[in-house]
Amino acid sequence: MTLNHGFILSSPEAFASTAERLLAAGDDLVARSKAFGDQQALWGEVLAAIAASGDTLPSALRDDLLRLAALVLEDLEEVEPDLALHVTVNRAMRDGLGEG
pLDDT tens string 63-99: 999 999 999 999 999 999 999 999 999 999 999 988 5
Spatial distance between the Cα atoms of 49 and 65, rounded to a whole number of angstroms:
10
How many C-beta neighbours within 10 Å does residue 32 have? 18
Q: Report if pTM > 0.85.
A: yes
